[in-house]
Amino acid sequence: MKAGYAQVLLVDGGNFFPENDDPNYGDVAGFLMDAMKLLGTDAVGTSEHELRYGYSFLKANIERSGLPMVCANLYMKSSGKLALSPYVIKKVGSVRVGIFSLMSDKVAYGPSADSLKVEEPTATARRMVVELKKKGATVTVLLSELGKIESEDLAAAVPGIDVVIIGPWRATAASRGSTWVGRSSRSTRRAPRPPGSATPSCWDPKWASAPRWSSW
């Protein structure tokens, strides 16, 4: 895709580690990280599943592979510092795209649960929107591991999020005359939001460059 089009961002919502707690499957997780890096993935969200083999395993493989995994609300309990990079900003043509990720604060966090804490997502999102705009982002993308309904509620409560990519939830639904899609190719040209839409919307041919939802 990047070879065929000059202005492309490739992102992944997260939740890609093997669904097996056996440490022997850690090699599979590392292979998947290497593969996404080889594909030129620009940003990868983080879910509790990427903590399946512990935080140290995840951090070591991020450093080894160079895969740009982000999470804006995962912290180390001992230091109060962010456990991962909170966001990335990529320039695509004349547009600067800020991409951040949120995980749920209502799930288990694997073997490192005692050393990690997760900030309430809505408060983090508000802070990220402000910070990304200060850094020059003209489009803001959220890689959400909160689930479909929680992601909708958050986007309604936090103005300034242009695109929401919902991680593991693959079900689709209709929303005010629009159609849910499983893949998103958002134009970086600015356009007004669809009439009557208070939150980022899903794809509709009438609003080819309007903000939209994507369940992945």
Q: The domain that contains 208 carries what CATH number?
A: 3.60.21.10
Residues 158/168, Cβ–Cβ less than 8 Å: no
In a domain, 12, yes or no: no
List the domain range (segments joined by +) for residue 82: 70-215
Q: Has residue 3 been placed in a domain?
A: no
Q: pLDDT tens across 154-172, in order?
A: 999 999 999 999 976 543 3
88: tokens are: 């990335």
Residue 34 resides in a domain: no
The whole-angstrom separation of Cα 9 and Cα 186 is: 9
Residue 58: inside a domain? no
pLDDT at residue 188, rounded to an integer? 41
Q: Which segments of the chain have a pLDDT < 70?
A: 1-2, 168-216
Q: Does residue 159 lie within any of the structural domains? A: yes
Judge whether 92 lies within some domain. Answer: yes
The contacts of residue 107 (CB under 8 Å, 6+ apart) are 48
pTM for the model stands at 0.79
Residue with tokens 């992601």: 151
Per-residue pLDDT at 6 = 74
What are the distances in angstroms from CA 171 to CA 61, 107, 180? Answer: 30, 20, 9
Total domain count for the chain?
1
CA-based R_g, the chain, Å: 17
Two tokens at 127? 């802070």
pLDDT of residue 168: 62
Evaluate whether residue 45 is within a structural domain: no
Asked if residue 104 belongs to a domain, the reply is: yes
Q: Which two tokens stand for residue 211?
A: 């903000």
